Amino acid sequence: MKKIKKLIVSKKWWVVVILILLLGVGLVLRKRSEDIAEEKNKTELVKVKRGDLQRAVVLSGQVEAREKANLRFQTSGLLSWVGVKKGDWVKEYQVLASLDKQELQKTFQKEMYDYVNERHDFEQGEDDYEHTERWFELSDEVKRILQKNQNDLSRAVLDVELADLAVKYATLVTPIEGLVTSVDTPYAGVNITPATAEFQVVNPYSIYFSAQADEEEVVGLGPGMAAAVSLDAYPDREFFGTIERVAFTPVSAGTSPNYEVEVSFGDYDNQDLGLRLGMEGEAEIILFSRENVLVIPVEALRGNNEDWVYVMVNGEKEKREIVKGLETEDEVEIVSGLIEGELVLVE
């Protein structure tokens, strides 16, 4: 009787084990079928077609001017005359303002008197020892006297030149033609320092769009490439130009250096364009463009080197090696390996 009970218990245990195994196998098969169905849903067939391929880079920046001058006096003084105001158009080398020159001119006159005296002393020394024909016959004392007279005369000449420069520097002259955009001290009769009397002149016909490209973007850029500039101030308008210059050195040091890219608008009347310094926007620069080429989605590429695809032939997948051409973020050019109209698998 005990043996019969043991046998019944043993059979029940094996039934439980078998049921668990069958349940596990069923779950595995179900999961596999779900994975296969999900994989089928992820893949789709796309036709190889002809199209235009274009890759562009978009850079942020703002409007700048190549001819821009911030002018200050070199010394402090009394501002005696201001000849311009904001919005005035000035010519190249036009005088903008000047300091009071009375003290400077008197200093110049004093230095001239000192120069004349030193000149007389020098000439007198030459006359005193004119009878000596050979330099080595002079005593050391006489040589020192003559050398001192020469040094004093040279120093007096330098003092006169410095005083003359001080008079000239009291007049502020613009080195460029353009628009007066800033006048810190517009009224005469005020004592100023170099830091408190600044004049800014900008030539609006020298404006350009200054964009910044990181080290990965800048390698594909060069002079002559076309650019379309969109400004925040003109959301419905584009300004077209070309790259004039790509900086060789970064504009600022850091973990990711940026390089200035100058986009020139060419010959134009800025009054028609209506551009202003500091306007922000973006420049779209075409890196390359191809028309009427075979293209497929980038997602269709397979392999580590992405040099083959799956092609559907008679309802079956066929591995096909291809040769790529230009590539964008979404599409890639097919140079060889595929024919227009064929179906490729895209994941």
Burial class (CB within 10 angstroms; exposed 0-12, middle 13-18, buried 19+) of 303? exposed
Q: What is the pLDDT of residue 267?
A: 58
Q: What is the pLDDT of residue 130?
A: 63
Q: What is the pLDDT of residue 37?
A: 47
Q: What is the pLDDT of residue 4?
A: 46
CATH number of 195's domain: 2.40.50.100
pTM: 0.64
Out of 289, 308, 327, pick the residue that ends a domain.
289
Q: What is the pLDDT of residue 305?
A: 65
| Residues sharing a CB contact under 8 Å with residue 286, sequence separation 6 or more, in sequence order | 54, 55, 56, 225, 226, 227
Q: What is the pLDDT of residue 259?
A: 93
Answer yes or no: do 208 and 324 share one domain. no
CA-based nearest residue to 209, from 179, 242, 181:
242
Q: What is the pLDDT of residue 65?
A: 93
Q: What is the pLDDT of residue 24?
A: 64
Rg (Cα) of the chain, in Å, rounded?
42
Answer yes or no: do 169 and 273 share one domain. no
Answer yes or no: do 306 and 212 share one domain. no
Mean pLDDT by 10-residue block, N- to C-terminus, for the chain (347 residues)?
48 61 64 53 76 86 94 91 94 94 84 85 75 59 78 86 85 94 92 90 92 90 92 91 92 80 75 80 88 82 78 85 82 84 83
- The parent domain of residue 308 ranges over 44-53+290-346
Answer yes or no: do 188 and 311 share one domain. no
Out of 289, 304, 322, pick the residue that ends a domain.
289
Q: What is the pLDDT of residue 88?
A: 95
Answer yes or no: do 312 and 338 share one domain. yes
Q: Is residue 241 part of a domain?
A: yes
Q: Is residue 166 part of a domain?
A: yes
Answer yes or no: do 217 and 130 share one domain. no
Answer yes or no: do 107 and 209 share one domain. no
Answer yes or no: do 101 and 162 share one domain. yes
Answer yes or no: do 62 and 92 share one domain. no
Q: Is residue 20 part of a domain?
A: no
The count of domains in the chain is 3
CATH number of 241's domain: 2.40.30.170
Beta strands at 95-99 and 171-173: parallel, antiparallel or unpaired: antiparallel
Q: Is residue 211 part of a domain?
A: yes
